[in-house]
Amino acid sequence: MNNKQADKSPISLDYRDRNVVISGGSSGIGLGIARHLAALGARISIIGRNQDKLSAALSTIYEIAPDAAGYSADVRDAPRITECLTEIRRTRGEIDVVIAAAAGNFFVPAEKMSPNAFKTVIEIDLIGTFNVFSAALPLLRREDAALLAITAPQAQRPMANQAHACSAKAGIDMLVKCLAMEWGTHGVRVNAVSPGPIAGTEGLARLSATPEIERFVRDATALRKFGDVEDIARSVAFLCSPMARYVTGTVLDCDGGMRHGNFVPMQ
């Protein structure tokens, strides 16, 4: 492709005619992404385990995108994920964008973490992300296709009581780089967004058991505030659009500067 041809791709965040699948799209950050991309014109399919959660989420997406659809599946069940994505491809067209946002987490000291507790989080976060991306690959439109994982600051910074999530998310950061290397020749970009603490989400609630911890986490960001799901959705919309057509294998911190934040109280 020469530069003249490349310049035909739209310089905008227009998602009309873009077929988008979001695992973990039935609540929190995944749902925020679904609603934001729907508002930009995308055809949205969300995946989650719980049918009631899917229905409740869809009722909020229908206001924006009446053709949204939900699929009940566990990302640990690779054959079922392949079945869902194949059905989406068959009924809703070639897939342009796949976002892997499903995760499980809980706060537990490593000495009290059972092998199955560790394995469960690795299976949902890391293996689940691989299951979703590898099932999607043969079903993608091989032009401007984008895969995006939701990782976390735990991938880069060790956190107490988070050995499972730190290990899983670190694996996701490396997986994204490896798949970007291998799948670039297929015209597929693979990136990740790393959210900081996001207000009103299950993830933050599980890690901020007391007001003191909540304050500590907020003050660990450079901006001294929590983000919201819309902040994450905007970063995702950019990375999965042709605006980022030369960006692959990267992790974008959308964390209020948490990575560089000050853990010592300011005067």
Sites of contact with ligand NAP (CB under 6 A): 23-24, 26-30, 48-50, 53, 74-76, 101-104, 124, 128, 150, 152, 195, 197-198, 201-204
CB closer to ligand COA out of 140 and 204: 204
103 binds ligand COA (CB under 6 A): yes
**Residue 219 burial (CB count, 10 A):** 16
CA–CA gap between residue 141 and residue 79 (Å, rounded): 21
For residue 42, the minimal CB distance to ligand COA (Å) is 23
On whether the CB atoms of residues 18 and 215 are closer than 8 A, the answer is: no
Residue 29, contacted partner among ligand COA, ligand NAP, none, CB below 5-8 A by kind? ligand NAP
Of 77, 202, 214, 228, the one binding ligand COA (CB under 6 A) is: 202
For residue 8, the minimal CB distance to ligand COA (Å) is 39
For residue 84, the minimal CB distance to ligand NAP (Å) is 10
Residue 204, contacted partner among ligand COA, ligand NAP, none, CB below 5-8 A by kind? ligand NAP
90 forms bridges with which residues in the sheet? none
The window from 14-22, 112-120, 133-141, 228-236 that contacts ligand COA (CB under 6 A) reads 112-120
On whether the CB atoms of residues 208 and 217 are closer than 8 A, the answer is: yes
Rounded to 5°, the CA angle 249-253-254 comes to 130
On whether the CB atoms of residues 242 and 144 are closer than 8 A, the answer is: yes
What angle in degrees, to the nearest 10, is found between the helix axes of 28-39 and 229-239?
Answer: 60
CB closer to ligand COA out of 111 and 212: 111
On whether the CB atoms of residues 94 and 68 are closer than 8 A, the answer is: no
Instruction: Work out whether the CA dihedral 240, 141, 57, 154 comes out positive or negative.
Output: negative
The window from 106-114, 166-174, 185-193, 233-241 that contacts ligand COA (CB under 6 A) reads 106-114
Instruction: Name the residues that contact ligand COA, by CB under 6 A.
Output: 103-106, 108, 114, 116-117, 120, 202-203, 206
